[in-house]
Amino acid sequence: MRTARARRALGLAAATALLAGGAVACGSGDSGPRLTVEDAYLPRPVTTDTAGGFMTIRNDGDTDDRLTSVNSDISDDVQIHTTSDGTMRRVPSLPVPAGGALELSRGGDHLMFMDLARRPAQGEKVSVELHFEKSDPITIEIPVEATNHVPGSHHQ
Ligand SMILES: [Cu+2]
């Protein structure tokens, strides 16, 4: 596995490949992506047709990564969507830039849960597994908020 990773990195720079190999032994090494998920929420869907998922995926590492697929207990078909000119479309992946973040928000890039197994209740948590091009998968419990929830606002 390390060999495959190193081989892939060869295209970039030999130095990068060396750093990638060393990151396994060096816990505080700053090579590679370092992802954390913040402010995740899922507005309670009105029907079981679809639900949107929103969050910020931060990358404090020095290597770009990509969100490539998503699994969930409430849907067998979680899609990655982007929005342009008010129209959303499915994309195979989205970038999580080094030293930056992937913002999944209303009217922008977002997760789209299709054909829900059930309609989750407000206050419930939905289990979601995020898969990335380079980083290990991240499992999060996303709280279900009011249908019209706006991040940063409190329940009213
Ligand atoms: Cu969508």
Q: What is the mean pLDDT of residues 130-146?
A: 98
- Is a pLDDT exceeding 70 seen at residue 3? no
Position 15 scores a pLDDT of 45
| Greatest extent of the chain over all pairs of C-alpha atoms, in Å | 55
Radius of gyration from C-alpha coordinates of the chain: 17
- Is a pLDDT exceeding 60 seen at residue 9? no
pLDDT digit string (tens) for 29-80?
A: 558 999 999 999 999 999 999 999 999 999 999 999 999 999 999 999 999 9
Domain boundaries, the chain: 1-27, 35-145
Q: What is the mean pLDDT of residues 1-12?
A: 49
Percent of the chain at pLDDT exceeding 70: 78
For residue 20, the CA-to-ligand 1 centroid distance in Å is 35
**Superfamily per CATH, domain 35-145:** PCu(A)C copper chaperone (2.60.40.1890)
Average pLDDT along the chain: 86
For residue 130, the CA-to-ligand 1 centroid distance in Å is 17
For residue 38, the CA-to-ligand 1 centroid distance in Å is 20
Comparing CA positions, the residue from 95, 117, 104 lying closest to residue 45 is 117
CB atoms within 10 A of CB 135: 20
